[in-house]
Amino acid sequence: MKFTLLGTGNSAMLPVYGCECTACRRAMDEPKYRRNKTSAMVHNNGKTLLIDANLPNLLERFPPKSIDRILLTHYHMDHVHSLFDLRFGFFRTQEERIPVNGPHDSLGCDDLYKHPGLLAFQPPFKPFETFEWEGIRITTLPLNHSKPCLGYVFEWQGRRLAYLTDTFGLSELAQNWLKMNPVEWMFIDCGYPPQAFRGDGAVRNHSTVEQILAIKKECQPVKVGLIHIGHELENWALSQPHCFSENLFLAQDGLCVTFQSDNQSGICSAI
């Protein structure tokens, strides 16, 4: 199984348009530090599953018939906007449409439900629902966000990886599930530096560093990669390198995690 981060940034991405802060200047000068909007994909048995659909070049990146299924975390525009282009793709039979799953959200996003085209929206998932895809056991976890939102835990041959965006910390129920089902890798929303650094405490939809540290202590994942990152957090991290390690780090676009049959896992940064 191969898990790939297609993007790790927030809706403003990195560099932020017009910004000249340290993090944005670095991203302009060095492409490896740029961040697309947060999304990911899973590859197994020659099949590809997308988690959210927001790459600006998604139609070029994924040729026709190369996307086998799409999981949506939620229906905010910055996580689904590429579906508006993808839905106009040509298909001959109903079997050629792409299955799309996500949380229960009666509003969805704009007119996607009304005019799905190539997209075949499936019955919504419930929290803590488990299903199988290409030999991978996938469980949904409820997240704390302004729209109904789900995270996904992928289990392959006893190895688990959690993908948790967008969320303001984790509920007690979600943390209890993770304690009972320990994950090796956790990729989790961290939109903000410590609230004391912000001064206003006005954080509601995305996690802070303090929350991530508490979740790490409570759930004991082996490695934690931060995603949904903005320039505010990136600038703070540049000034606080001692706060991070190989087991707690800011994830980068293109990072791949592979689970192998010999019970090994690997990480690479090129796709």
pLDDT of residue 204: 75
Q: What is the pLDDT of residue 261?
A: 80
Q: Given this model, what pLDDT does residue 271 score?
A: 34
Predicted confidence (pLDDT) per residue in 109-139, tens digit = 999 999 999 999 999 999 999 999 999 999 9
Check pLDDT > 80 for residue 54. Answer: yes
Q: What is the SS3 assignment for 142?
A: strand
Count of Cβ atoms closer than 10 Å to residue 243 Cβ: 13
C-beta separation of 81 from 104 below 8 A: no
Strand, coil or helix: 256:
strand
Residue from 35, 21, 30, 12 nearest 255 by CA: 35
Beta strands in the chain (DSSP E): 2-7, 39-44, 47-51, 69-71, 98-101, 119-121, 130-133, 136-142, 150-156, 159-164, 185-189, 223-227, 248-250, 256-259, 265-268
| pTM of the predicted model as reported, rounded to 2 decimal places | 0.94
- Edge-first strand order for the sheet with 150-156 is 130-133, 136-142, 150-156, 159-164, 185-189, 223-227, 248-250
Q: Is 248 helix (H, G, I), strand (E, B) or coil?
A: strand
**pLDDT value, residue 195:** 75
**Pair of tokens at residue 102:** 């996500």
Q: What is the pLDDT of residues 80-119, one digit of tens each?
A: 999 999 999 999 999 999 999 999 999 999 999 999 999 9
The one-character DSSP state at 125 is B
Of the pLDDT bands very low, low, confident and very high (cuts 50, 70, 90), residue 268 is: low
* Mean pLDDT across 2-11: 98
Could you count the other beta carbons within 10 Å of the beta carbon of residue 124?
Answer: 17
Query: In DSSP terms, which residues pair with 121 in a beta bridge?
Result: 100
Alpha helices in the chain (DSSP H): 22-29, 58-61, 77-80, 83-86, 172-180, 195-198, 209-219, 231-239
211-236 pLDDT per residue, tens: 999 999 999 999 999 999 999 999 99
Mind listing the pLDDT tens digit for each residue in 154-197?
999 999 999 999 999 999 999 999 999 999 999 999 999 987 55
Q: Label the pairing between strands 136-142 and 150-156.
A: antiparallel
Contact 217, 178 (CB under 8 A): no
Between 231-239 and 22-29, two packed helices, what is the crossing angle to 10 degrees? 100
> How far apart are alpha carbons 73 and 90 in whole angstroms?
25
